[in-house]
C-alpha cells in the first residue's frame, strides 16, 4: 500500500527548513512511503565493529537498508535511555570510546551515501566546544544533531553554530509538551521534528501508543512544512508499518541494539541485517 495517502499527501517543496536530513524524509514521502531511521551507538562492541554494524544498517541484506543513520554517542548519565542502550553505551565507555570516535563513524556512514546524524547529550558537545563540534561534524559529512537533553530554551550557541555550519537541528517533542512548547520547539527545528511517541525512555515495546498520531498532528498543524519522525518503541515490521501510516519517518533504536547485544560474542551481523530488511519492508507498508 501507499503510505502517503494517509498523511497529508503533499510533497515537501521548497522549504529551506528541510535542510539536508529533512530532504531524505521528503524524498521518501515522494515515493509514497515513510523513511526509516536506524540508531546505533558508536563504540559497541568496539568502535570498529560499531561502524561495521552501521554500514550493515545502510544495506540490510537486500541493499535497501535505512534511509538515515542516527549515531548515538555514549554518555555516562543517559537519562533518556532504557536498559538495552544503556548496556551498549556503558560497555562502549568502558572500552574508552571518545567523542571524536563519533565523527569517525559519521565519516564512514557518509561514505556509503546515506546520511548520518548524531544523537548526543549536551555536556559532551559543550566540552568539545559547540562551534568546533559543529565544524568537525560538517567536515565529516554529518547532517546535524538530535539533542535528547537540550531544548531550544538553552540552545542559543547550538542554533548559532548550526546556522554557521549548515547543520540540521532536530529537537524532541513529547505528548506532554504544551501547545506553546510544540510551537516553539518545532519552530527551532531544521530538518525534521522528533516526536517521542510514548512517554518514557528508549526501549522496544509490544504496543506503540495512541498518543503518537495525535502528537504528529499537533506538530503538523503548527509546521506543515517540516517532516515528523516518530521514535521510542518500534521493534517489528508491523509496528513500523503502523507508524508509517501517519509519520514521515520511523525511528528504530533499541531493537537494533538488541541484535548487537545478542551477537556480542559472535559479532555476526546477520540478525541485524534481517531486522533492517523487515523494518525497511514495514515502512513501505509491508507489515
Partner 1 sequence: MSSDIPLQPSPGRSLPDAHGHFDAFGGKFVPEALSAALEELEAAFTTAVADPQFLAELDGLRRDYAGRPTPITEAHRFSQHCGNARILLKREDLNHTGSHKINNVLGQALLTRRMGKKRVIAETGAGQHGVATATAAALFGLECRVYMGKVDTERQALNVARMQLLGAEVVSVAAGSQTLKDAMNEAMRDWVTNVDSTHYLIGTVGGPHPFPMMVREFQRIISIEARAQMLDRFGRLPDAVTACVGGGSNAMGIFAEFIPDPEVRLIGFEAGGEGVESGRHAATISAGDIGVLHGMRTYVLQDEDGQTKESHSISAGLDYPGVGPEHAWLAATGRATYEPVTDTEAMNAFRLLSRTEGIMPAIESAHAVAGAQRLGLRWAEERPDWHPVIVINISGRGDKDVDTAIRWFGIDGTADATTGALE
Which residues are at the interface with partner 1 (CB under 8 A)? 75-80, 82, 86, 90, 93, 98-99, 122-124, 126-128, 148-151, 153-154, 171-178, 181, 185, 196, 199-201
248 counts as catalytic: no
Asked if 227 and 196 count as a contact pair (C-beta separation under 8 A), the reply is: no
* Residue placing its CB nearer to partner 1 in the complex, 212 or 283: 212
* Residue placing its CB nearer to partner 1 in the complex, 39 or 128: 128
Of the candidates 31, 59, 67, 70, the residue annotated as catalytic is: 70
81 counts as catalytic: yes
Strands 249-252 and 35-41: parallel
Minimum CB distance to partner 1, residue 170 (Å): 11
At 216, give phi and psi (nearest 5°): -60, -40
Q: Which residue has the cell 500500500?
A: 1
CA distance 261 to 45: 8
Of the candidates 59, 67, 81, 149, the residue annotated as catalytic is: 81
Candidates 255, 280, 270, 266; CA nearest to 40 is 255
CA distance 287 to 277: 11
Minimum CB distance to partner 1, residue 137 (Å): 15
Q: Residue 78: CB partners within 8 Å, gap ≥ 6?
A: 85, 86, 89, 121
* Residue placing its CB nearer to partner 1 in the complex, 2 or 123: 123
Minimum CB distance to partner 1, residue 90 (Å): 7
* Residue placing its CB nearer to partner 1 in the complex, 15 or 90: 90
Minimum CB distance to partner 1, residue 100 (Å): 8
CA distance 251 to 232: 7
Candidates 99, 127, 115; CA nearest to 43 is 99
Q: Catalytic residue positions?
A: 70, 81
Amino acid at each position: 500500500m501507499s503510505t502517503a495517502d494517509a498523511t497529508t499527501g503533499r510533497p515537501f517543496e521548497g522549504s529551506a527548513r528541510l535542510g539536508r536530513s529533512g530532504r531524505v524524509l521528503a524524498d521518501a514521502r515522494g515515493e509514497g512511503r515513510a523513511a526509516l531511521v536506524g540508531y546505533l551507538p558508536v563504540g559497541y562492541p568496539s568502535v570498529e565493529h560499531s561502524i561495521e554494524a552501521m554500514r550493515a544498517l545502510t544495506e540490510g541484506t537486500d541493499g535497501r537498508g535505512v534511509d538515515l543513520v542516527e549515531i548515538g554517542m555514549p554518555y555516562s548519565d543517559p537519562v533518556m535511555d532504557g536498559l538495552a542502550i544503556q548496556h551498549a553505551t556503558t560497555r562502549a565507555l568502558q572500552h574508552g570510546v571518545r567523542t571524536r570516535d563519533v565523527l569517525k563513524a559519521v565519516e564512514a556512514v557518509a561514505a556509503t551515501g546515506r546520511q548520518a546524524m548524531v544523537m548526543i547529550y549536551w555536556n559532551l558537545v559543550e566540552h568539545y566546544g559547540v562551534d568546533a563540534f559543529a565544524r568537525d561534524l560538517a567536515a565529516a559529512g554529518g547532517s546535524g544533531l538530535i539533542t535528547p537533553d537540550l531544548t531550544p530554551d538553552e540552545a542559543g550557541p547550538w542554533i548559532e553554530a548550526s546556522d554557521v555550519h549548515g547543520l540540521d537541528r532536530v529537537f524532541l517533542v513529547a505528548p506532554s509538551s504544551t501547545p506553546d512548547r510544540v510551537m516553539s520547539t518545532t519552530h527551532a527545528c531544521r530538518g525534521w521534528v522528533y516526536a517521542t511517541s510514548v512517554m518514557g525512555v528508549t526501549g522496544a515495546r509490544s504496543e506503540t501508543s495512541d498518543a503518537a498520531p495525535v502528537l504528529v498532528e499537533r506538530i503538523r498543524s503548527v509546521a506543515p512544512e517540516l517532516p515528523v519522525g516518530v521514535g521510542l518503541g518500534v521493534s517489528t515490521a508491523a509496528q513500523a508499518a503502523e507508524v508509517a501510516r501517519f509519520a514521515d519517518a520511523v525511528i528504530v533504536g533499541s531493537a537494533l541494539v538488541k541484535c548487537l547485544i545478542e551477537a556480542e560474542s559472535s559479532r555476526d551481523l546477520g540478525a541485524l541485517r534481517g531486522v533492517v530488511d523487515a523494518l525497511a519492508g514495514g515502512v513501505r507498508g509491508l507489515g
